[in-house]
């Protein structure tokens, strides 16, 4: 049974100011953000059943801000949770079978699964076995994660994981440690044994200090030093009809809970498969249902943005900290990025700055993208501050701009 304590375990990241945390939030151990607690729900096999996803949507509307995030590790986040509402949500999510027994298992279940698996294939078989054997893993640094990517071709090559079981160029499966270009072939049926053995080697050899496999300086044990490269990438799932249902884009990785519930109901979806690419696969959705996860906004796939990334937080009216709506401006910027019209207004990027991001933040807390962005728009007193190569709250180049003035200032209206 999941733990049902009376207060969330917020330590050590309970401050509301944005900063890089050394751990990932869960449901049992939520993280405080600018708009309240963030509760992260990790699906098993990348899949939430219809009952689970509708239950999450209903809970987000009744006990949180009514918004759901899709993370880059294919988890769902319910955000804007008041501390007083956390126990009720724990009960609801526990009843839906979404929780782990304790925070240790919750953080260890950091498992990215290729979302287009089918019953009986290698991805389903191996991921199911690993889930059943999580208690055999040693204590690990909080951000260490796994990828099971054993379809006909790997899809998760560009997505973060410390240890991977994936399809190799030779057609069989390999075990590959992050930071290595090649992996070791695996015997059928012994894949999880090998993964656990490599993880134990990492932990026994100072993995706690290294933090992540890619930073671990020790040479791999001889048995794990293979020379088989992963197979050619099948790439991310694209929006549209899929053999398993319909793939839908979530601009900004965020959806209103009521829109998601409506899309699930109207499409007849049997489940939602979460991907790390800001898209979800509505499993079993009718091909002609054309579910929309952002009704009223242009239907665009965020993969086609000419190298740009547009980030936006919930903004007004969803977050009480916001004095501006973020979405109208963010959607307009998405359109401009798609048209290839963003770029000339970039400032001089300091070392380490992200030079391809436009960030529309409802306030200076910058929940959606705490790092520097090439174009940073921060809401303040009902208008936007504009800065280049900056974080929200840093001194603006121009202040007090409405949406049209922002676009004019960027030369793209
Ligand atoms: S307005 Fe945006 S950045 Fe500010 S606290 Fe709310 S979600 Fe975070």
Distance 344 CA to ligand 1 centre (A): 28
In a domain, residue 354? The reply is yes
**Over the stretch 324-337, which tens digit does the pLDDT of each residue have?**
999 999 989 988 88
258 and 215 in one domain? no
* Local structure of residue 158 (DSSP, 8 states): T
Does residue 35 have its Cβ closer than 6 Å to ligand 1? yes
CB of 361 within 6 A of ligand 1: the answer is: yes
Beta strand 31-33 pairing with 36-41: antiparallel
Residue 167, domain member (yes or no): yes
Instruction: Please tell me whether residues 155 and 212 are part of one structural domain.
Output: yes
Asked if 218 and 272 sit in the same domain, the reply is no
Kindly state whether residue 86 falls inside one of the protein's structural domains: yes
Task: Report the pLDDT value the prediction gives residue 3, as an integer from 0 to 100.
Answer: 46
Asked if 289 and 102 count as a contact pair (C-beta separation under 8 A), the reply is no
pLDDT at 356: 80
Residue 182 is given by DSSP the state -
Asked if residue 271 and residue 179 are part of one domain, the reply reads no
For range 387-403, the mean pLDDT: 94
- Which residues are CB-neighbours of 28 under 8 A, at least 6 positions away? 2, 3, 8, 9, 90, 99, 100, 102, 103, 106
Q: What is the pLDDT of residue 263?
A: 95
pLDDT of amino acid 11: 44
Task: Please check whether residues 254 and 328 belong to one and the same domain.
Answer: no
More confident residue, 142 or 49: 49
Q: Of the candidates 14, 9, 11, which has an alpha carbon nearest to the alpha carbon of residue 27? A: 9
Task: State how far the Cα of 181 lies from the Cα of 164, in Å rounded to an integer.
Answer: 12
Write down the pLDDT at residue 262: 95
Residue 21 has pLDDT above 60, yes or no: no
Confidence at residue 60, expressed as pLDDT on a 0 to 100 scale: 97
Q: Is 366 in the pocket of ligand 1 (CB under 6 A)?
A: yes
Q: Is 333 in the pocket of ligand 1 (CB under 6 A)?
A: no
**Domain count within the chain:** 3
Q: Under DSSP, is residue 209 helix (H, G, I), strand (E, B) or coil?
A: helix
Phi first, then psi: give them for residue 31, nearest 5 degrees: -115, 140
In a shared domain, residues 94 and 121: no
Give domain status of residue 48, yes or no. yes
The pLDDT assigned to 18 comes to 34
Determine if ligand 1 sits within 6 Å of the CB of residue 313.
Answer: yes
What pLDDT is attached to residue 303? Answer: 55
**C-alpha dist (Å) from residue 247 to 241, 270, 281, 306, 410:** 6, 13, 4, 21, 33
CA separation for the pair 372, 391 (Å, rounded): 4
Which CATH number goes with the domain that contains 48?
A: 3.90.480.20
What average pLDDT score do residues 383-390 get? 95
Residue 69 in contact with ligand 1 by CB distance below 6 A: no
The pLDDT value recorded for residue 179 is: 94
Q: Reply yes or no on whether the pLDDT at 8 is more than 70.
A: no
Cross-strand partners of 272? 48, 282
Please give the average per-residue pLDDT across 247-269, as a whole number.
93
pLDDT over 90 for what percent of the chain?
66
Residue 365 sits in the same domain as residue 394? yes
Spatial CA neighbour of 337 closest among 356, 352, 324: 356
Q: Is there a contact between 306 and 294 (Cβ–Cβ < 8 Å)?
A: no
For residue 269, being part of any structural domain is answered with yes
Enclosing domain of residue 60: 31-102+244-283
Query: CA 252 to CA 269: how far, in whole Å?
Result: 22
Instruction: Please identify, by atom number, the ligand 1 atom nearest to the C-alpha of residue 362.
Output: 1
């Amino acid at each position: 049974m999941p733990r049902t304590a009376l207060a969330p375990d917020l330590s050590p990241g309970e401050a509301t100011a944005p900063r890089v945390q050394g751990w990932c939030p869960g449901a049992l151990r939520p993280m405080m953000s600018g708009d309240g607690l963030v509760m992260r729900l990790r699906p098993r096999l990348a899949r939430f059943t219809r009952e689970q996803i509708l239950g999450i949507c209903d809970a987000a509307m009744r006990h949180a801000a009514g918004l759901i995030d899709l993370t880059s590790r294919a988890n769902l986040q319910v955000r804007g949770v008041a501390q007083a509402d956390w126990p009720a949500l724990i009960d609801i999510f526990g009843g839906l079978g979404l929780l782990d027994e304790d925070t240790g298992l919750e953080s260890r279940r950091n498992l990215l699964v290729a979302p287009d698996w089918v019953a009986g294939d290698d991805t389903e078989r191996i991921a199911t076995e690993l889930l059943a054997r999580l208690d055999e893993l040693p204590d690990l640094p909080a951000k260490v994660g796994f990828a099971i990517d054993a379809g006909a071709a790997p899809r998760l090559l560009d997505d973060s994981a410390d240890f991977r079981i994936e399809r190799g160029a030779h057609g069989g499966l390999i075990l590959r440690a992050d930071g290595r270009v090649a992996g070791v072939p695996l015997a059928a049926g012994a894949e999880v044994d090998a993964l656990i053995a490599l993880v134990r080697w990492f932990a026994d050899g100072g993995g706690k200090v290294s933090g992540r496999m890619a930073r671990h300086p020790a040479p791999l044990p001889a048995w794990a030093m293979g020379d088989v490269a992963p197979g050619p990438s099948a790439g991310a799932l694209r929006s549209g009809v899929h053999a398993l249902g319909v793939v839908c884009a979530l601009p900004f990785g965020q959806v209103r809970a009521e829109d998601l519930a409506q899309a699930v109901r109207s499409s007849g979806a049997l489940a939602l498969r979460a991907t790390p690419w800001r898209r979800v696969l509505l499993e079993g959705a009718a091909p002609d249902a054309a579910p929309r996860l952002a009704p009223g906004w242009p239907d665009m796939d965020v993969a086609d943005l000419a190298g740009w990334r547009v980030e936006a937080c919930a903004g007004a009216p969803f977050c009480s900290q916001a004095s501006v709506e973020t979405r109208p401006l963010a959607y307009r910027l998405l359109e401009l990025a798609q048209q290839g019209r963003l770029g000339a207004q970039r400032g001089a990027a300091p070392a380490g700055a992200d030079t391809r991001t436009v960030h529309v933040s409802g306030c200076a807390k910058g929940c959606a993208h705490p790092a520097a962005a090439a174009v940073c728009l921060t809401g303040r007193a009902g208008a936007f501050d504009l800065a280049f190569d900056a974080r929200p709250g840093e001194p603006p180049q121009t202040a007090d701009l409405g949406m049209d003035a922002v676009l004019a200032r960027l030369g793209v209206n």
